Amino acid sequence: REHLGQGSVQHLGCGTLRNVSANVEFAEKVVEAGGIQAIVAGMKVNSEAELVQEHGCAALWNISMGAGFEARVAAAGGIEAIVNGMLAHRSSCGVQGHGCGALWSLSWKSAERQARIAEGGGIEAIVRGMKRHKKELPVQEQGCLALFAVTSLSTHQARVC
């Protein structure tokens, strides 16, 4: 948090939180220590840094998926940070794949978060990422899962077509 403007520090910090949060027990500790807010802040300040965005998306995905902190990630601005990262780094397979995975996890069984993702340009970001990375299996898999979850409400289905 002390070095928000230092991309190298942020990418290493987000990368460490990504690795640690893959373990549910440690993900809870990351959340308790303010890790979600630190990740989101690092992503916002370092929007041009691809590795910050990739590791940030992956860390938010781990935190929301395994440990069940979807609402807290969304409340901290995680949805917007993920979508903005995907839009800023369209050519990055890592950002697109982890971004799609994070949006899938955040949208699962939550009409409110599905609406925020759809209204915030998330569906368009997912579709663009999938079109750009047609041969990348992780992007295609996570993109399909994200679209499946976000479009479970009929009001968002037209955005895919």
Is residue 2 in a domain? no
Domain membership of residue 132 (yes or no) is yes
This prediction has a pTM of 0.92
Residue 10 has what pLDDT?
Answer: 87
Residue 47 lies in a domain: yes
Number of domains in the chain: 1
**CATH at residue 76:** 1.25.10.10
In a domain, 1, yes or no: no
Q: Exposed/middle/buried for 118, CB within 10 Å: 0-12, 13-18, 19+?
A: buried
Determine the Cα–Cα distance for residues 43 and 50; give it in Å rounded to an integer.
9
- Residue ranges making up the domain that contains 94: 7-159
Residue among 159, 141, 138 nearest 150 (CA): 159
In sequence order, the 6+-apart residues with CB closer than 8 A to the CB of 84 are 43, 44, 47
Let me know if residue 111 belongs to a domain: yes
Task: Give the pLDDT of the chain (161 residues) as one tens digit per residue.
Answer: 565 665 678 889 999 999 999 999 999 999 999 999 999 999 999 999 999 999 999 999 999 997 779 999 999 999 999 999 999 999 999 999 999 999 999 998 899 999 999 999 999 999 999 999 999 999 999 999 999 999 886 566 656 66
